[in-house]
Amino acid sequence: MKNPIARKVVIVGAGVSGLSAGTYACKAGFDVTILEMGHTPGGISTSWKRKGYTIEGGIHWLTGSSGLLPHNRMWKEVGALADNNPIILKDPLYTLIENGRRIPLYRNPAKMAETLIAIAPEDEKAIRKLEHQVRALEHFHAPRNFKEFICNILPALPVLPALMPLSIGQYLLQFKNASVRTLLGSFINPAQNAICLVYTLATFAVGDGGYPKGGSLVMSSNMERKFKSLGGQLLYGAEVSRIETANGKVIGVRYSKDQYIPADAVIVSADARTAIDSLFGQPLQDSWAQKMRSNMEVDQCLIFSMGVKADLSSYPKNMAFRLDSPFAYAGCSCDVMMLNAYSGEDFAPQGCTTLTWLLFGDMYEFWKQAKEDGSYKEKKQAITERIIELIKRHLPEVDGNIEFTDLATPITLERYCATYKGGFMSLWKPGEKPANAPVRHSRIKGLYFAGQRTGASGGLPVAVASGRKAVKCLCRDTKINFPK
Ligand SMILES: Cc1cc2nc3c(=O)[nH]c(=O)nc-3n(C[C@H](O)[C@H](O)[C@H](O)COP(=O)(O)OP(=O)(O)OC[C@H]3O[C@@H](n4cnc5c(N)ncnc54)[C@H](O)[C@@H]3O)c2cc1C
């Protein structure tokens, strides 16, 4: 039932954070419209079809996929997890294949340690230390009370100072064994803070970090359904050009060239780093916005995918290969290839496989330049051909069986979702406190921020929590009970 005051809330963007904010705002009784420039829910957390194959271009693991972590409550509240997308928990998580040998990375920290020590006895001390650090971060989440502070935060405090100043790449240098370094460095951008690696392993260790069946688009479609079932309105193809204010207060939103919608409150769930420069007529000049301008670095990647008319089920689902020499692309390079193999009715025709590979690195300027000088397509093609050769070398079954390839760059993410420099997450730099955005604007009444840029280092848990947080703040400001 709508709140009798029926205050009008407009949300910019139908990504995970916007859908989350929309659902909580509807539950609180607001009259809610989400304006989305694209044509599907979920923003950059998405998947798409090519020739009967589904390409997963978003979720690789979902923090809070199980009831073992507190985020799960939010995923349930916003309708993201339902009967149509049960959670798949893979174990081993990743497997390094080299010289015919398979080295698995297991969820359980003790099993992980034993397997790694067996192949790298010289690293026993460092591996045991990693096991200890993983255990220490298993419940490292924002505490809701003193008891949770004691249980969740205290165990983490002794290990954080050693991790905080290091990038993942620097952290991994303590391992002498190249296979161990390669395996542990294969699934997150090595430029991220070392805490990201250990926290992720801790998420897996508690039995969380699963993958919802059907992937990103099923999950965000579930969220859209929930939002609409509560009376929310979602307009696609509605690009917001300006948030109008008068007398220090939000009054409405301009979208799709000449459309206008009055609003008592606006929640900006679009990329905050882009929004502060583009949605307010004049760029926002608050100190946090300035800090964000100077500090924000985004995690960028190439999303390579390929449809293969071959059954690759004899290989692990997530297989890493150490490369003989670094693979160079778009001004970046890597020495490991992590291929995700998707098969089954949700992802590929019978007997076929979709392969994906995320190649990380700071490459926005390279692609922007290529777009400007007209060489974008040609450069994409050249990298694609080299990737195909590399994959064929490691998976001979692929040869002659490629049905399509696809390469999304940061320019693709920028074009479809207006993310800052085409980033898919934020980079939490070693030793630095990341630039965050406040939930509520201090001087413009009725203006709130959600979205992954509001908290480091982004990702789905930040997105869903930020939508909730923005509405909680809005409820407090309007003296409306936040929905239990
Ligand atoms: C390849 C890939 C893999 C990933 N893997 C994981 C993972 O395994 N685990 C994890 O936790 N996270 C992962 N992420 C990150 C995660 O997907 C994002 O952190 C999250 O989806 C961000 O949600 P958001 O709502 O903050 O932003 P967005 O998804 O960017 O949503 C913003 C929305 O606003 C819209 N918009 C922008 N500007 C306007 C405008 N002017 N008018 C109207 N609409 C506008 C956009 O179109 C978009 O729909 C991955 C991302 C990618 C790309």
Are both 302 and 417 inside the same structural domain?
Answer: yes
Within a domain: residue 139?
yes
Are both 122 and 186 inside the same structural domain?
Answer: yes
Q: What is the pLDDT of residue 458?
A: 87
Q: How much distance in Å is there from the Cα of 316 to the middle of ligand 1?
A: 28
Q: Which of 186, 216, 424 most suits a substitution to test ligand 1, by most atoms within 8 Å of the C-beta?
A: 424
In sequence order, what DSSP letters do the residues of 296-350 get, joined into one string? --EE-EEEEEEEESS--TTS-SEEEEEEEEEEEETTEEEEEEEEEEE-STTTSST
Over the stretch 169-226, which tens digit does the pLDDT of each residue have? 999 999 999 999 999 999 999 999 999 999 999 999 999 999 999 999 999 999 999 9
Q: How far is CA 27 from the centre of its chain?
A: 26
Within a domain: residue 77?
no
Within a domain: residue 117?
yes
H or E stretch covering 451 = none
Within a domain: residue 13?
yes
Within a domain: residue 83?
no
pLDDT band, residue 385 (cuts 50/70/90): very high
C-alpha span between 347 and 341 (Å, rounded)? 10
Are both 200 and 238 inside the same structural domain?
Answer: no
| Percent residues over pLDDT 70 in the chain | 98
H or E stretch covering 382 = helix 376-394
End-to-end CA distance of the chain: 15
Q: How much distance in Å is there from the Cα of 443 to the middle of ligand 1?
A: 27
Over the stretch 111-121, which tens digit does the pLDDT of each residue have? 999 999 999 99
Within a domain: residue 392?
yes
Q: What is the pLDDT of residue 145?
A: 79
440-444 average pLDDT score:
91
Instruction: Indicate if the pLDDT at residue 3 is higher than 60.
Output: no
Q: What is the pLDDT of residue 257?
A: 87
Over the stretch 60-119, which tens digit does the pLDDT of each residue have? 999 999 999 889 999 999 999 999 999 999 999 999 999 989 999 999 999 999 999 999
Residue written as token pair 């590399």:
390
H or E stretch covering 265 = strand 265-268
Q: How much distance in Å is there from the Cα of 445 to the middle of ligand 1?
A: 26
Q: What is the pLDDT of residue 434?
A: 67
b vs e for 369-399, b when ≥16 Cβ sit within 10 Å of the residue's Cβ?
A: ebbeeeebeebbeebbeebbebbeeebeebe
| Percent residues over pLDDT 90 in the chain | 86
Within a domain: residue 326?
yes
Closest residue by CA, ligand 1 atom 15 = 459
Question: 89 and 210 in contact (C-beta within 8 Å)?
Answer: yes
Average per-residue pLDDT in the chain? 94
Q: How much distance in Å is there from the Cα of 424 to the middle of ligand 1?
A: 7
Are both 290 and 314 inside the same structural domain?
Answer: no
pLDDT band, residue 138 (cuts 50/70/90): very high
Are both 195 and 224 inside the same structural domain?
Answer: no
Within a domain: residue 78?
no
Atom index in ligand 1 nearest the CA of residue 38 equals: 47
Atom index in ligand 1 nearest the CA of residue 63 equals: 11
pLDDT band, residue 1 (cuts 50/70/90): very low
C-alpha span between 323 and 390 (Å, rounded)? 9
Are both 473 and 442 inside the same structural domain?
Answer: yes
276-284 average pLDDT score:
94
Expressed as residue numbers, the domain containing 355 is 298-421
Instruction: Indicate if the pLDDT at residue 140 is higher than 90.
Output: no
Of 421, 444, 461, the position where a domain reaches its end is 421
Q: What is the pLDDT of residue 432?
A: 84
Q: HEC string of 53-81?
A: EEEECCCCCECCCCCCCCHHHHHHHCCCC
Q: How much distance in Å is there from the Cα of 459 to the middle of ligand 1?
A: 8
Of 205, 234, 257, the position where a domain reaches its end is 205
Residue written as token pair 């690759």:
312
Instruction: Indicate if the pLDDT at residue 394 is higher than 50.
Output: yes
C-alpha span between 112 and 127 (Å, rounded)? 9
Q: Residue 28's domain is classified under what CATH number?
A: 3.50.50.60
Closest residue by CA, ligand 1 atom 26 = 451
- State how many domains the chain has: 3
Are both 114 and 183 inside the same structural domain?
Answer: yes
Q: What is the pLDDT of residue 149?
A: 79
275-297 average pLDDT score:
91
Q: Which of 24, 45, 273, 364 most suits a substitution to test ligand 1, by most atoms within 8 Å of the C-beta?
A: 45
Closest residue by CA, ligand 1 atom 46 = 417
237-248 average pLDDT score:
96
Instruction: Indicate if the pLDDT at residue 397 is higher than 80.
Output: yes
What is the token pair recorded at 292?
């964000």
Question: 75 and 464 in contact (C-beta within 8 Å)?
Answer: yes
Among residues 414, 420, 111, the alpha carbon closest in space to that of 272 is found at 420
Atom index in ligand 1 nearest the CA of residue 462 equals: 19
Are both 303 and 290 inside the same structural domain?
Answer: no
Instruction: Indicate if the pLDDT at residue 279 is higher than 50.
Output: yes
Ligand 1 neighbours, Cβ below 6 Å, are 12-18, 35-38, 43-45, 57-61, 63, 239-240, 269-271, 303, 358, 417-419, 424-425, 451-452, 458-461, 463
Closest residue by CA, ligand 1 atom 12 = 459
Instruction: Indicate if the pLDDT at residue 346 is higher than 90.
Output: no
What is the token pair recorded at 78?
């916003």
Are both 303 and 397 inside the same structural domain?
Answer: yes
C-alpha span between 125 and 105 (Å, rounded)? 17
Of 155, 182, 205, the position where a domain reaches its end is 205
Closest residue by CA, ligand 1 atom 16 = 459
Higher pLDDT, 483 or 252: 252
Closest residue by CA, ligand 1 atom 19 = 459
Are both 335 and 450 inside the same structural domain?
Answer: no
Q: How much distance in Å is there from the Cα of 80 to the middle of ligand 1?
A: 15
H or E stretch covering 10 = strand 8-12
302-320 average pLDDT score:
97
134-143 average pLDDT score:
87
pLDDT band, residue 376 (cuts 50/70/90): very high
pTM, 2 dp:
0.96
Are both 311 and 378 inside the same structural domain?
Answer: yes
Atom index in ligand 1 nearest the CA of residue 13 equals: 34
Are both 321 and 407 inside the same structural domain?
Answer: yes
